[in-house]
Amino acid sequence: MHRRTFLQGLGAAAVFGSMPFASRLSWAASPGAVSVDSLPPLVGDLTLYLGRGEGGLYENVLEAIQKRNPKLNLRIRRGGSAALANTIVAEAKAGVKRADLFWAVDTGSVGLVTDQQLAKPLPSDLTGQLKSGFQYPGWTPVTGRVRTLPYNTERVQPDAIPDDIMALADSDLAIGWAPAYASFQSFVTAMRLLEGNKATANWLRGVNRNAKKYAGELGVVMGVERGEVDLGFANHYYTLRLKSGKPDANVDLAFTKNDAGCLVNASGILALSDGDLPVNFMRYLLSREVQSYLATEAYEIPLVEGVAPPQGLPAMDTLSPPDIDLRKLADLRPTLNIMRDVGVL
Q: What is the pLDDT of residue 182?
A: 82
How far, rounded to the nearest angstrom, does the alpha carbon of residue 306 sit from its chain's CA centroid?
18
Among 11-20, 37-46, 260-269, the range scoring the smallest mean pLDDT is: 11-20
pTM of the model: 0.83
pLDDT, tens only, 170-187: 999 999 999 998 889 999
Q: What is the pLDDT of residue 8?
A: 46
Cα within 13 Å of Cα(21), Cβ side: 15
Instruction: Decide if 43 contacts 96 (C-beta within 8 A).
Output: no
H-assigned helices in the chain? 3-12, 24-29, 57-68, 81-93, 107-114, 124-127, 182-195, 197-208, 217-226, 236-245, 276-285, 288-297, 333-341
Q: C-alpha angle with apex 205: 340 to 265, nearest 5 degrees? A: 70
Among 41-50, 108-117, 191-200, 204-213, the range scoring the smallest mean pLDDT is: 108-117
pLDDT above 60 (res 252): yes
pLDDT above 60 (res 9): no
pLDDT above 50 (res 299): yes
Average pLDDT, the chain: 88
Backbone angles phi, psi at 305, to 5 degrees: -60, 140
Instruction: Decide if 3 contacts 60 (C-beta within 8 A).
Output: yes
Contacts of 325 (CB under 8 A, 6+ apart): none
Compute and round to an integer the Cα radius of gyration of the chain. Answer: 20
Residue-range domains of the chain with CATH: 3-144+265-317 (3.40.190.10), 145-263+319-341 (3.40.190.10)
Q: What is the mean pLDDT of residues 19-38?
A: 52
Rounded Cα–Cα distance for residues 244 and 200 (Å):
34
Contacts of 197 (CB under 8 A, 6+ apart): 334, 338
pLDDT-based confidence at 22, cuts 50/70/90? very low
CA distances to 14, 44, 307 from 38, rounded to whole Å, are: 9, 19, 16
Q: What is the pLDDT of residue 107?
A: 86
pLDDT, tens only, 37-56: 999 999 999 999 998 755 57
Query: How much of the chain, in percent, has pLDDT values that exceed 70?
Result: 90
Instruction: Decide if 186 contacts 192 (C-beta within 8 A).
Output: no
- Phi/psi-derived region of residue 77, left when phi > 0, alpha when psi is between -120 and 50, beta in every other case: beta
Pick 285 or 326 by higher pLDDT. Answer: 285
Q: What is the mean pLDDT of residues 118-133?
A: 92
Q: What is the mean pLDDT of residues 244-267?
A: 95
